[in-house]
Amino acid sequence: MHELASTAEKMNGSDMVPLALYIHWPFCVSKCPYCDFNSHVRAQVDVAAWQAALLADMAHEAGLTPGRKLSSIFFGGGTPSLMPPALVEMLIAAAERHWGFADNIEITLEANPSSVEAANFHDLARAGVNRVSLGLQSLDDQTLQFLGRAHDVAEGLAALDTAQQAFGRVSFDLIYARPGQSLADWQAELGLALTFGTGHLSLYQLTIEPGTRFETLVRTGALISADDDHCADLFDLNRSIMTTAGLPAYEISNHAKPGQESRHNQTYWRYQDYVGIGPGAHGRRLESATERHKKPENFLSAVERNGNGLKVEQALSPETRAMEALMMGLRLAEGLDLRALEAKTGLAAAHMLDQQAVDHLSELGLLNAAEGRLTISPKGMPLLDALLPKIIADI
């Protein structure tokens, strides 16, 4: 073993570091053809049953993490903007009772830009939500139809306007590398997106995920996805346009004005502790990995049976935690502080990294390793998935 510190030394003070809380609402009006998230379409949802289950699941996690305040809450899905605002308010209040809130807590809710859901935005803001992430996905009606979205551009922009009136911070998502999308098309769409003045934009490359309808279409030849070179050109265009506009990339797909970064998601990428409740939710807390039952009905049954929705609770070895931290941290423009990682895992950086590969990739300008910090360069970021297996040692 390559221990640098005792468990007591590693944990000294870490139990007081704030937590992040993720709450999963699994229901959607319809399933998008590109989506592989844990989302389900149900004719009816028993809100009272879900209220009781989520509160019980939250209480279980709170009992394991006493003395930890919350730095952020994130309602994800599914479509959490379908949740009754009263339920959102109740969950936020319960979280504050259990843990207490750090100063300037960030409370984000993912929302679809339909007029029905936008009608609840002011109520959600009064419930305590102070940041919304809006799934616009495209500013072109034909593309929205292709993506299986229920809204059109006009409805989406009206929802964006309502969100900007209701919430202090607003982000929205766009999907690029769509079939047939040219550089000029994407440049024009990004230019339009920037005119709305939000402080954060998430730009996601369309990927063909297993088990989705798009994957079936690609397999049968009915859909041809963009080639890698074109995707790389689109990615470079993102970086250029967004940096010039004052929203540089702070993560591989996320761009923000300084100070407008998603603090909740930074918790994940910096490999800090977070609690996940609700169907399929994952967590990392107290050096353990947690996962809830994925199917909504199975989650409810588990809570009724056990008082929580846990399916998996597994202690993580220092080697596993080091690997996960490297895979998450290198997504960030700030990279990874290797000294902090050594202190957290008790492993020396020399045993986490393939130094020969690091040196070679540094010479190629794909990453930077200096002063105890490892970062992927802008040139290397589009190749991140290929670089990670080379960098990370077999630990």
Residues 233 and 342 in one domain: no
Q: Is 276 helix (H, G, I), strand (E, B) or coil?
A: strand
Compute the distance between CA of residue 185 and CA of residue 8 in angstroms, rounded to an integer.
Answer: 56
Radius of gyration of the chain (CA): 21
Last residue of a domain, one of 220, 239, 268: 268
Q: Does residue 243 fall inside a structural domain?
A: yes
Q: Does 6 score more than 70 pLDDT? A: no
Q: Does 12 score more than 60 pLDDT? A: no
Compute the distance between CA of residue 238 and CA of residue 252 in angstroms, rounded to an integer.
Answer: 10
Return the axis-axis angle of helices 228-244 and 183-194, rounded to nearest 10°: 30
pLDDT of residue 240: 97
Q: Does residue 279 fall inside a structural domain?
A: no
Residue 372 tokens read as 């105890």
Residues 227 and 345 in one domain: no
Residue 209 tokens read as 């995920």
Q: How many domains does the chain have?
A: 2
pLDDT of residue 15: 57
Q: Does residue 63 fall inside a structural domain?
A: yes
Residues 65 and 144 in one domain: yes
State the residue range of the domain holding 353.
Answer: 332-395
Last residue of a domain, one of 244, 268, 292: 268
pLDDT of residue 393: 82
Q: Does 249 score more than 80 pLDDT? A: yes
Q: Does residue 198 fall inside a structural domain?
A: yes
Residues facing residue 137 across a β-bridge? 174
Residue 146 tokens read as 């292709």
Residues 243 and 341 in one domain: no
Residues 32 and 164 in one domain: yes
Q: Strand 254-256 vs strand 200-205: parallel, antiparallel, or unpaired?
A: antiparallel
Residues facing residue 376 across a β-bridge? 367
Q: Which amino acid is at 109?
A: L
Residue 365 tokens read as 């300008």
Beta strands in 26-129 (DSSP E): 70-77, 101-111
Mean pLDDT value across residues 278-299: 96
Q: What is the pTM of this model?
A: 0.92
CATH number for 64: 3.20.20.70
In DSSP notation, 291-334 reads EE-SSHHHHHHHHHHHSS-EEEEEE--HHHHHHHHHHHHTTBTT
What percent of the chain clears pLDDT 90, i.e. is strictly above it? 79
Q: Does residue 157 fall inside a structural domain?
A: yes
Count of beta carbons in the 10 Å neighbourhood of residue 187: 15
Compute the distance between CA of residue 100 and CA of residue 200 in angstroms, rounded to an integer.
Answer: 27
Residues 247 and 352 in one domain: no
Q: Does residue 219 fall inside a structural domain?
A: yes
Q: Does residue 11 fall inside a structural domain?
A: yes
Last residue of a domain, one of 242, 268, 294: 268
Residues 252 and 350 in one domain: no
Compute the distance between CA of residue 376 and CA of residue 369 in angstroms, rounded to an integer.
Answer: 9
Residues 347 and 213 in one domain: no
Cis peptide upstream of residue 78 (ω within 30 degrees of 0)? yes
Residues 144 and 235 in one domain: yes
**Per mean pLDDT, which range of 49-58, 117-126, 295-304, 351-360 is the poorest?**
351-360
Residues 50 and 150 in one domain: yes
Q: Does residue 100 fall inside a structural domain?
A: yes
